Structure 1
Amino acid sequence: MDIADFFDTFFEEAEELLADMEQHLLELDVDDPDSEQLNAIFRAAHSIKGGAGTFGLSVLQKTTHILENLLDYARKGELTLRADLVDTFLEAKDIMHEQLNAYRNEEEPDRETYERICQTLQQIALEEIGTSLEVAADTAPMTSAPAPTEEAPAEAAPVKEEAAATTAAGHLKVALINVDEKDRILLVEELEQLGDIQSQSGDDKRYEVTLSGSVSAEDIEAVMCFIIEPDQIDIQQVAGDDASASAPSPAAAPAEEKAPAEPQKAPADTKASAPDKAAAGDEPAKGKAKKASAESSSIRVSVDKVDQIINLVGELIITQSMLDQTVSDLDDQSIGNSSLQNGMSLLQRNARDLQESVMSIRMIPMEFVFSRFPRVVRDTAGKLGKEIELVTEGKSTELDKSLVERITDPLTHLVRNSLDHGIEMPDVRESIGKPRTGKLTLSARHQGGNILIEVRDDGAGLDRDRLLAKARDNGLNVSDTMTDEDVFQLIFAPGFSTANEVTDVSGRGVGMDVVKRNIQGMGGRVEIQSKKGEGTITSIVLPLTLAILDGMSIKVGSETFILPLSTVLESLQPDKDDMYAMAGDDVVLKVRDEYLPVIAIHEVLDVEDAITDPTKSIAVIVQGEGRRYAMLVDELIGQQQVVVKNLEDNYRKVPGISAATILGDGSVALILDISGLHRLNRAKKEAGKPANTQTMSFYKESEPS
């Protein structure tokens, strides 16, 4: 995969974040600012800063970092907002947009504008808060550094000294281990941009490249880790045969020296990737050829257009189901027509193929998400003084583009949380018999109609007693009898944090509640498993797409409902001897020594003419938010793929219902929300609604042992 693809993704996301920031700033009421809006503005700046740092866009990163710090004071109430301050924030946003466009066009952002806005923001901090804002340091060698100024003359000096030290020490031998030919060619091209290649040889098992120049081993590894794993890189320092051969080439020279030497060079004479500008040298043809090849094999289409096609295909599937139902009715009346039946079978097959093809357009490999984390883990671990090994699994697993974009921020919060709170300091790990280097694993795999994304660490695990104590301090309603699962879910409560002090990594008590809310908004759930001293597994379960759903059609009374097939485990005929009445009208069903809460759908949703005798009903065992339930239904109709229609957009939010669909006969069927039904069932009982006495008479009065 060409690394330029990742830049395109960042540029698109940054454009959207800047647009959101502007909208929130324009809508902000300075006399009574909305905290959610301030948090949204802050998160947008934070996300842009992180991406800019990852790709080495230093000017954009520094500008955004200063603005982010000022926004943090505003959202904490330490900076009183005024109209003129909002105007300054909007000006900063415009300058960030100009910087983004400069990098997109392979140019350097305007230095004078950058210095002016930074000075303005610093002045606001000094006058309004009485403090100076922190400025982010350069995070990557992948773009040219800013020219030295009177305010920061010392910034360039250490870079030159480090380069000289590297040059004097000799060459670097970079070994690529178990890298296929396609990736190897790409990596060698990237190495050409970092220094002068003296020699190269080897095979797919081990390919060695000898490099001279001012680049360090850490810089090479930072670039390579976007394409291959850290354990596929071996970098060693070797003595140079000639000191002059190790001198930095013009292509690798610092930007502050190169800019005066080539003021007449046009931006067009650079390679296609912005971060490679400083090292492009005199090889524009190769970059242009690669870019032209990529353009000839792909086409950029607006997501709105793709969504419109998906919606029309969904309508086509509904129409096909209606026709299929009509043909089935004709066949039942013995007016069968073989040509009509064959035509319908062909239409059904083609419609399904069309649907799958259109849906695949929006599917993106998880590699686009996982590729962002080597640098995140490296930088965060460095700030925390920890040694971390990142392992990724299932990078080829595909997910809908809309979900990929929305899962990145929640996943980043979970990764930073594991690094900060989960994995111990190296000395602590060593003292308890663990390796000094902690292990963080990101994995993705398909699970039925869902995708399962896991963040696993081998750290200290969650401390149940500490979580309960912190919850009580925060005024949360907790008890010692809570299950471990319920206790672990406390970390997602708003404002909940176990950090001893606030850092730039964690401790503010924001983020984890947003993580859970965002994941639930995508139709997913988040689960936590942890064992003290051994580590924590945070699992995110998401549907592959929000447009199509594999469902189980069920009948309750005269109503037809859809259960998401991914939640259905099994179905069985309840036995009277296995059902027990509990205190508070609760009912449980014993299934293989496990007692499952019973949810009678006809009672929860007030469906008339339904079967009330549980022994004549069917118990469908389902799972939601990590818990299992037994749902009583009248009949199982069958499995089918349905087109999901958002109920909130077309009607309103209904408790216990997640969405709706249109069946083959044209009728509307509601898609049930498992966890929502359980909460609705509990709410009705707590409200004192009398239980169905006819149904309750079938249950045993004794409680299970």
Structure 2
Amino acid sequence: MDITDFYDTFFEEADELLAEMETHLLDLDVDQPDQERLNAIFRAAHSIKGGAGTFGFEALQRTTHLLENLLDHARRGELQLRRDIVDTFLEAKDMLNDQLDAYRQGGEPDPEALERICETLRRLALEEIGDSADVDVSGATAPGASVAAPDPAPQAATPSPAGGRFKVALLGVADKDRNLLIEELGQLGDVEDQEGDVAEYRVTLNSSLSADDIEAVMCFIVEPEQLSIQALGAPDHGAAGQADGKNDGQADGAVEEKSAGQGQGAGAPEAAADAKAPAAQKKTTQSQAAGEFTSIRVPVSKVDQIINLVGELIITQSMLNQVAEDSDTVKDGALVTGLNLLQRTARDLQEAVMSVRMVPMDYVFSRFPRLVRDLAGKLGKDVELVTEGKSTELDKGLTERIIDPLTHLVRNSLDHGIETPDRREVAGKPRTGRLTLSAQHQGGNILIEVADDGGGLNRERILAKARSNGLAVSDTMGDDEVWQLIFAPGFSTAETVSDVSGRGVGMDVVKRNIQAMGGHVEILSKPGQGTTTRIVLPLTLAILDGMSIRVGREMFILPVSAVIESLQPRTDDLYSLAGGDTLLKVREDYLPVVAVHHAMDVAGAITDPTRAIAVIVQGEGRRYAVLVDDLVGQQQVVVKNLETNYRKVPGVSAATILGDGSVALILDVTDLHRLAQSKKDNRIFGTRSPLAEEVEPS
């Protein structure tokens, strides 16, 4: 058997276990540690160590072995936890991540870093419990190392002898998956017998491997709760010897039961508890497992390929509809019915496939408790992190790209926003600041917010800094416009430059990255009360609902999520400003008018605004009146990246292919307004509007 076939699965599972370990470490109360959390942290280290030993990753196995010993002492109550000890565990977890990355890339971990973390763990064991913990993975004691008195209960880290017959139980595994797993067991030894049902299917295996090795391989194929291994006897070692050093709480050493998801070895109090659990309770657990663990792992590249094919299917369906509308076949009832059915099926297929790529925001939010803890400690601040809407789903491609912008915003809130405990106390606030990360769906978009209860933005300081940077500003600017100034390149109001912030880089990168994802950033702030940065993103990058508009002979697409309403302007509602700009009064608001034909240089378009249609749209927190010739209709469009396939086009976010095979540009409303402003002819209608009245927007 080529064991390298399991490498990718091991790396994925190990990443998940390390993430789980970090979460539990951050949530630990060092004064009253939760026993279940300690057990979960120990099990994560133990599982990684087992897999590392199976695959021959010696540095990873050595580090997890030392960490596992310390965690075992902690869960037994022999190691009194403190914040600095938890920090050491987190440092070890970071090193495990680095080692995994090295193995993933086909290399070896940094030997100096390995020795450094091992020495740190050994020193901690020696200082806190009088144990050097300097036992290598083979069980040999390092020269000169002191050894603690043997524990009456065998250690979980003790390896089991190899070879023997095992009863491997697959719990709650469907028939089609079970056959595959039995084939994999056949790669680990000889399958002698098999029987049972979905709730519990038992396989007798004669293998040269140990129970630990079998578990380590199988746990990267099935969930731990779906696997149980019993030693039936080892010809070379004897059944009693097989069980010795592994079975905790069983008087009979002839039979060893090893449940991958239950404590995992010696010294685990939960293992003994599970052994005494009523049969009815175990039956219930197995029944639940039968319905819960029915997922499979699929590479993202395969999902992307399916999404691309679905996109092509939607384009083909649009083409068929176009052909039917342009010919007499539209009178054929059967054909029309078939096309309508194809359209519904294609849409349902698209939604189903897109849902496969959707992942909960917890994937993103789970990265920040560690960042907040470390950075707040470095800055001397007490900060409570609150996350809301962790189950809100977002396209996986967007979650990967949103992490960096959110990291900048979180660091800014911690450094600039939330005050030190003493300053908060003087201001009548709790000494502990509050940072909130939230996510929610809003129409066809997802709304992500980073909010703090700090001092808020300083309007005067921002304006002063903007003037010193040569930006065109005025004291009459609205707060929203002033807040947007912090996104200018090189802009920073920090009094000193530190390794956290102050260099004026970051916020402009945040805005560019968000815009590249088809979203925008808004800022809300109140002096003394805090600041909220709001990111609005489309739910997915692949397909969107679009409003087809016609300007001259050209077709464009506006995202439906940005469209508020449409109307035909009246002469009395149009106002010209001194600078050549035109405003449209919509009820009590004055909206900037953006003529698409002017911004995009389209010939043959309607230039009289009273004959055109004004589509009221929203972008980056502002509303605009976009003038078009005609509204064609609403349809699903497949988003094609224009910058990748051609180049960046001002006023355009992407492109799509219409039913007749032509290419239509998807407009970026805010960038379209900037493009129109840059063409300061600015007589958008060919002639100056006859209205002489000049007004300032309210």
Counterparts in 2 of 1:249 and 1:596: CA distance versus 1, 3 Å: farther
Counterparts in 2 of 1:415 and 1:576: CA distance versus 1, 3 Å: same
Counterparts in 2 of 1:425 and 1:662: CA distance versus 1, 3 Å: same
State the Cα distance separating 1:458 from its structure 2 match: 0.9
Q: What CA distance in whole angstroms lies between the structure 2 residues aligned with 1:533 and 1:6?
A: 49
Counterpart of 2:475 (choices 456, 475, 480) is 480
1:6–1:368: 8 Å Cα contact kept in structure 2?
A: no
Counterpart of 2:384 (choices 389, 392, 417) is 389
| Amino acid of the structure 1 residue aligned with 2:213 | A
Q: What CA distance in whole angstroms lies between the structure 2 residues aligned with 1:544 and 1:582?
A: 38
Establish whether residue 544 from structure 1 lines up as the match of residue 543 from structure 2.
no
Structure 2 SS opposite 1:681? helix
Q: What CA distance in whole angstroms lies between the structure 2 residues aligned with 1:287 and 1:112?
A: 21
Counterparts in 2 of 1:597 and 1:270: CA distance versus 1, 3 Å: same
Establish whether residue 268 from structure 1 lines up as the match of residue 213 from structure 2.
yes
Structure 1 SS opposite 2:464? helix
Partner of 1:215: none
Partner of 2:315: 318
Larger radius of gyration between Structure 1 and Structure 2: 2
State the Cα distance separating 1:468 from its structure 2 match: 2.6
Partner of 1:349: 344
Q: What CA distance in whole angstroms lies between the structure 1 residues aligned with 2:14 and 2:656?
A: 35
- The range that moved more, 483-492 or 354-363, is 483-492
Counterparts in 2 of 1:556 and 1:110: CA distance versus 1, 3 Å: closer
Establish whether residue 629 from structure 1 lines up as the match of residue 624 from structure 2.
yes
State the Cα distance separating 1:592 from its structure 2 match: 2.0
Partner of 1:73: none
Q: TM-score, normalised by structure 2?
A: 0.64
Partner of 1:8: 12
State the Cα distance separating 1:285 from its structure 2 match: 3.9
Partner of 1:470: 465
Partner of 1:697: 689
Alignment of 1:179-218 (within 5 A): none
Q: What CA distance in whole angstroms lies between the structure 2 residues aligned with 1:623 and 1:251?
A: 63
Establish whether residue 411 from structure 1 lines up as the match of residue 406 from structure 2.
yes
Counterparts in 2 of 1:149 and 1:324: CA distance versus 1, 3 Å: closer
- CA-atom RMSD in angstroms: 4.4
Establish whether residue 523 from structure 1 lines up as the match of residue 518 from structure 2.
yes
For residues 408-428 of structure 1, give each alpha carbon's deviation from its aligned partner in whole angstroms, at most 9, with x where no partner exists: 121122112112211111222
Q: What CA distance in whole angstroms lies between the structure 1 residues aligned with 2:617 and 2:113?
A: 62
Structure 1 SS opposite 2:422? helix
1:10–1:51: 8 Å Cα contact kept in structure 2?
A: no
Partner of 1:490: 485
Partner of 1:192: none
Establish whether residue 644 from structure 1 lines up as the match of residue 639 from structure 2.
yes
Partner of 1:297: 294
Structure 2 SS opposite 1:697? coil
1:610–1:634: 8 Å Cα contact kept in structure 2?
A: yes
State the Cα distance separating 1:590 from its structure 2 match: 1.3
Q: What CA distance in whole angstroms lies between the structure 1 residues aligned with 2:503 and 2:458?
A: 20
Structure 2 SS opposite 1:669? strand
Alignment of 1:140-539 (within 5 A): 140=90, 156-158=122-124, 161-162=127-128, 268=213, 285-287=258-260, 297-330=294-327, 333=328, 336-539=331-534
Q: What CA distance in whole angstroms lies between the structure 1 residues aligned with 2:503 and 2:14?
A: 26
State the Cα distance separating 1:534 from its structure 2 match: 0.5
The runs of 5 or more residues in structure 2 that have no matched partner are 1-7, 27-48, 64-85, 97-111, 131-148, 163-209, 225-244, 249-256, 265-288
| Amino acid of the structure 2 residue aligned with 1:302 | P
State the Cα distance separating 1:599 from its structure 2 match: 0.8
- The range that moved more, 449-458 or 136-145, is 136-145
The runs of 5 or more residues in structure 1 that have no matched partner are 15-49, 58-98, 114-135, 165-243, 253-257
| Amino acid of the structure 1 residue aligned with 2:664 | A
1:54–1:140: 8 Å Cα contact kept in structure 2?
A: no
Partner of 1:576: 571
State the Cα distance separating 1:354 from its structure 2 match: 1.1
State the Cα distance separating 1:11 from its structure 2 match: 4.5
Q: What CA distance in whole angstroms lies between the structure 2 residues aligned with 1:444 and 1:436?
A: 26
Q: What CA distance in whole angstroms lies between the structure 1 residues aligned with 2:153 and 2:538?
A: 51
Q: What CA distance in whole angstroms lies between the structure 1 residues aligned with 2:609 and 2:431?
A: 57
Q: What CA distance in whole angstroms lies between the structure 2 residues aligned with 1:5 and 1:390?
A: 32
Q: What CA distance in whole angstroms lies between the structure 2 residues aligned with 1:408 and 1:376?
A: 12
| Amino acid of the structure 2 residue aligned with 1:328 | E
Number of aligned residue pairs: give it.
Answer: 508
State the Cα distance separating 1:620 from its structure 2 match: 0.9
- The range that moved more, 523-532 or 483-492, is 483-492
| Amino acid of the structure 2 residue aligned with 1:605 | M
Counterparts in 2 of 1:281 and 1:375: CA distance versus 1, 3 Å: farther
State the Cα distance separating 1:156 from its structure 2 match: 4.5
For residues 466-517 of structure 1, give each alpha carbon's deviation from its aligned partner in whole angstroms, at most 9, with x where no partner exists: 2233344445454434332232223333333333444443334433232222
For residues 168-203 of structure 1, give each alpha carbon's deviation from its aligned partner in whole angstroms, at most 9, with x where no partner exists: xxxxxxxxxxxxxxxxxxxxxxxxxxxxxxxxxxxx
Alignment of 1:80-159 (within 5 A): 109=59, 138-140=88-90, 156-158=122-124
Counterparts in 2 of 1:6 and 1:516: CA distance versus 1, 3 Å: farther
1:461–1:534: 8 Å Cα contact kept in structure 2?
A: yes
- The range that moved more, 137-146 or 619-628, is 137-146
State the Cα distance separating 1:433 from its structure 2 match: 1.4
Partner of 2:675: 680
Q: What CA distance in whole angstroms lies between the structure 1 residues aligned with 2:634 and 2:529?
A: 41
State the Cα distance separating 1:564 from its structure 2 match: 0.8
| Amino acid of the structure 1 residue aligned with 2:617 | V
Structure 1 SS opposite 2:59? coil
Structure 2 SS opposite 1:613? coil
Counterparts in 2 of 1:315 and 1:151: CA distance versus 1, 3 Å: closer
Q: TM-score, normalised by structure 1?
A: 0.63
State the Cα distance separating 1:336 from its structure 2 match: 1.9
Partner of 1:36: none
Counterparts in 2 of 1:335 and 1:157: CA distance versus 1, 3 Å: closer
State the Cα distance separating 1:105 from its structure 2 match: 5.8
State the Cα distance separating 1:540 from its structure 2 match: 0.8
Counterparts in 2 of 1:290 and 1:565: CA distance versus 1, 3 Å: farther
State the Cα distance separating 1:576 from its structure 2 match: 0.8
Counterparts in 2 of 1:270 and 1:343: CA distance versus 1, 3 Å: closer
State the Cα distance separating 1:9 from its structure 2 match: 8.2
Q: What CA distance in whole angstroms lies between the structure 2 residues aligned with 1:148 and 1:11?
A: 19
Counterparts in 2 of 1:112 and 1:478: CA distance versus 1, 3 Å: farther
State the Cα distance separating 1:374 from its structure 2 match: 2.1
State the Cα distance separating 1:142 from its structure 2 match: 7.6
Aligned-pair identity (%): 62
Counterparts in 2 of 1:660 and 1:496: CA distance versus 1, 3 Å: same
Partner of 2:41: none
For residues 292-342 of structure 1, give each alpha carbon's deviation from its aligned partner in whole angstroms, at most 9, with x where no partner exists: 999973333332222222111111111111212233344xx4862222222
Q: What CA distance in whole angstroms lies between the structure 1 residues aligned with 2:23 and 2:53?
A: 14
State the Cα distance separating 1:596 from its structure 2 match: 1.0
State the Cα distance separating 1:547 from its structure 2 match: 0.6
Structure 1 SS opposite 2:675? helix
| Amino acid of the structure 2 residue aligned with 1:323 | L
For residues 532-572 of structure 1, give each alpha carbon's deviation from its aligned partner in whole angstroms, at most 9, with x where no partner exists: 10011101111111110111111212222110111111112
Partner of 2:274: none
Q: What CA distance in whole angstroms lies between the structure 1 residues aligned with 2:375 and 2:10?
A: 21
For residues 186-228 of structure 1, give each alpha carbon's deviation from its aligned partner in whole angstroms, at most 9, with x where no partner exists: xxxxxxxxxxxxxxxxxxxxxxxxxxxxxxxxxxxxxxxxxxx
| Amino acid of the structure 1 residue aligned with 2:577 | M
1:519–1:525: 8 Å Cα contact kept in structure 2?
A: yes
Counterpart of 2:597 (choices 599, 602, 605) is 602
Q: What CA distance in whole angstroms lies between the structure 2 residues aligned with 1:503 and 1:580?
A: 49
